[in-house]
C-alpha cells in the first residue's frame, strides 16, 4: 500500500513537470498578443534619418502610410 502511494505521487510529479513544460511552450508560442506595431525598429531608424535630411512629416506619412502622430512618436524615440 505504501509503495502504491509513492508510485502515485511520482506519477503526479511527472505529470506536473510535463504540464509546466507545456505551459512554457504555449506562453512562448503566443507571446505577441495585441495589435501589431505600425513601424518596426528599422523603419524608425529610417524615419529619423530622413527627417534629419529635411524630409517633411507629410512626406514621411505618405512613404510609410501612417498618421502624423505615428511619425512624431517615432521621432521621439
Gyration radius (Cα) of the chain, Å: 26
What was the pLDDT predicted at 66?
A: 94
pTM of the model: 0.57
Residues of the chain with pLDDT under 70: none
pLDDT of residue 56: 96
Alpha-carbon 44 to chain mean position: 17
Helix (H) / strand (E) element for 1: namely: none
Amino acid at each position: 500500500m505504501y509503495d502504491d502511494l509513492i508510485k502515485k505521487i511520482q506519477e503526479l510529479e511527472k505529470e506536473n513537470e510535463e504540464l509546466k513544460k507545456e505551459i512554457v511552450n504555449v506562453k512562448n508560442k503566443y507571446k505577441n498578443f495585441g495589435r501589431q506595431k505600425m513601424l518596426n525598429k528599422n523603419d524608425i531608424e529610417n524615419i529619423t534619418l530622413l527627417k534629419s535630411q529635411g524630409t517633411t512629416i507629410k512626406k514621411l506619412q505618405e512613404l510609410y502610410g501612417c498618421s502624423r502622430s505615428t511619425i512624431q512618436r517615432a521621432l521621439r524615440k
